[in-house]
């Protein structure tokens, strides 16, 4: 008589989580339920919209649970009723109390988009770019009550390049996370017990949630920091700046090591390949912007719309 498949409850909400859900489904385990955040208002009409994970679960015919909290006895009973051998959590967005962590026989696994203990918390992808990190990755972690403090089961690494944005790194780490999860499931389903490596006590940093208030580019900072901000905040929350009196969203910019004596934010030069803005250290060359109510355009197109800026300088 063949052994019963491992019963897995999956918990996740955004697009980042979907590849991991697919990895669970492809592993040979039985995904018996999917937990995701309640439907939220979205779009211009602010109509309730299902999360990407809910959409994927419904398309696969998997039961969906959307509790507002996991802290109630009713929520505990519902989860226990699914009889999970393992719970997999990927960017779910709700705290898992100790009683929930104890329900699955193998506990709860979390796929986290950083090399722990660096960048515990809500926005590890963007914070890694902002800090100038040259490497990041994903950790498959055994969850415990603390915030991203559990021991690491598997780790996969990737370089952060100067071309990476929050969006491109997000997509790459989503794939890496699914690969790490697939490997962990494959080994457990083969009868292996994964070694759990405690996180180092040194090097702990917290990736605080992104806030729209952070979007303004402060030219009193070094140009390289503003370049990282533009990359990290693409696609959200974006980076805003004033260029010669007009507020625009900046979508692409490069730090240039150039000496100058101009005040921060001064437009030093305006050419088709970029608009040079003075920083306390160096120059930020802006190559793609978005005007209010418009779409993303190149610096050349922006100068076509504002020909008075051509040849600008202090």
pLDDT tens digits, residue range 134-188? Answer: 999 999 999 999 999 999 999 999 999 999 999 999 999 999 999 999 999 999 9
pLDDT surpasses 50 at 200: yes
What is the separation, in whole angstroms, between the first and last Cα of the chain?
A: 82
d(CA 310, CA 301): 12
Which residues of the chain are in CATH 3.10.25.10 domains?
Answer: 215-309
What is the token pair recorded at 96? Answer: 């898992």
Query: In the predicted model, what is the mean pLDDT of residues 248-271?
Result: 97
User: Would you list which residues are annotated within the binding site for (6S)-5,6,7,8-tetrahydrofolate?
Assistant: 114-117
What is the token pair recorded at 33?
């339920």
User: What pLDDT does 1 receive?
Assistant: 37
For residues 60 and 307, give the distance between their C-alpha atoms in angstroms, rounded to a whole number: 54
Q: What is the pLDDT of residue 45?
A: 83
CATH of domain 215-309: 3.10.25.10
Residues annotated in the binding site, as ranges? 114-117
Residue 314: pLDDT over 90: no
Res 46: pLDDT: 86
What average pLDDT does the structure give for the chain? Answer: 96
pLDDT classification of 2: cutoffs 50, 70, 90: very low
The reported pTM is 0.95
Looking at the domain covering 7-207, what would its CATH class be? Answer: alpha beta
pLDDT band at 311 (very low <50, low <70, confident <90, very high): confident
**Chain centroid offset of residue 102 CA:** 27
The tens digit of pLDDT for each residue in 52-100 reads 999 999 999 999 999 999 999 999 999 999 999 999 999 999 999 999 9
Return the SS3 of 141. strand
Pairing of strands 206-207, 239-243: unpaired
Q: State the average pLDDT over residues 232-252.
A: 97
Task: Give percent of the chain above pLDDT 90.
Answer: 95
The answer to whether 291 touches 284, Cβ cutoff 8 Å, is no
The reported pLDDT for the residue numbered 143 is: 98
Residue 270, pLDDT above cutoff 60: yes
What are 277's strand-pairing partners?
267, 284
The rounded percent of the chain whose pLDDT value lies above 70 is 98
Single out the residue of 274, 281, 278 nearest to residue 310, CA to CA.
274
What are the residue ranges of CATH 3.40.50.170 in the chain? 7-207
């Amino acid at each position: 008589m063949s052994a019963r498949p491992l019963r897995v409850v999956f918990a996740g909400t955004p697009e980042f989580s979907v590849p991991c859900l697919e990895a669970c489904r492809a592993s040979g385990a039985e995904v018996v339920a999917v937990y995701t955040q309640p439907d939220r208002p979205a779009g211009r009409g602010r109509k309730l919209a299902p999360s990407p994970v809910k959409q994927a679960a419904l398309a696969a015919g998997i039961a969906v649970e959307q509790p507002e909290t996991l802290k109630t006895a009713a929520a505990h009973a519902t989860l226990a009723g699914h009889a999970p051998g393992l719970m997999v959590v990927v960017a779910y967005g709700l705290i898992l109390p100790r009683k929930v962590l104890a329900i699955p026989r193998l506990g709860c696994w979390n796929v986290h988009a950083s090399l722990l203990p660096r960048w515990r918390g809500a926005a590890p992808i963007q914070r890694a770019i902002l800090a100038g990190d040259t490497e990041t990755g994903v950790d498959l972690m055994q969850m415990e009550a603390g915030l991203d403090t559990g021991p690491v089961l598997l780790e996969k690494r990737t370089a952060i390049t100067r071309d990476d944005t929050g969006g491109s790194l997000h997509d790459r780490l989503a794939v890496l996370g699914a690969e790490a999860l697939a490997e962990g499931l494959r080994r457990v389903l083969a009868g292996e017990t994964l070694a759990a490596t405690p996180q180092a006590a040194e090097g702990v940093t917290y990736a605080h949630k992104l806030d729209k208030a952070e979007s303004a580019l402060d030219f009193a900072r070094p140009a390289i920091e503003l370049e990282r901000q533009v990359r990290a905040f693409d696609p959200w929350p974006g980076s805003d700046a004033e260029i010669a009196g007009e507020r625009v969203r900046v979508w692409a910019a490069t730090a240039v090591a150039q000496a100058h004596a101009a005040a921060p934010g001064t437009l030093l030069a305006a050419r088709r390949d970029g608009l040079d803005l003075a920083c306390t250290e160096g120059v930020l060359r802006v190559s793609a912007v978005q005007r209010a109510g418009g779409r993303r355009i190149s610096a050349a197109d922006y100068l076509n719309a504002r020909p008075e800026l051509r040849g600008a300088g202090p």
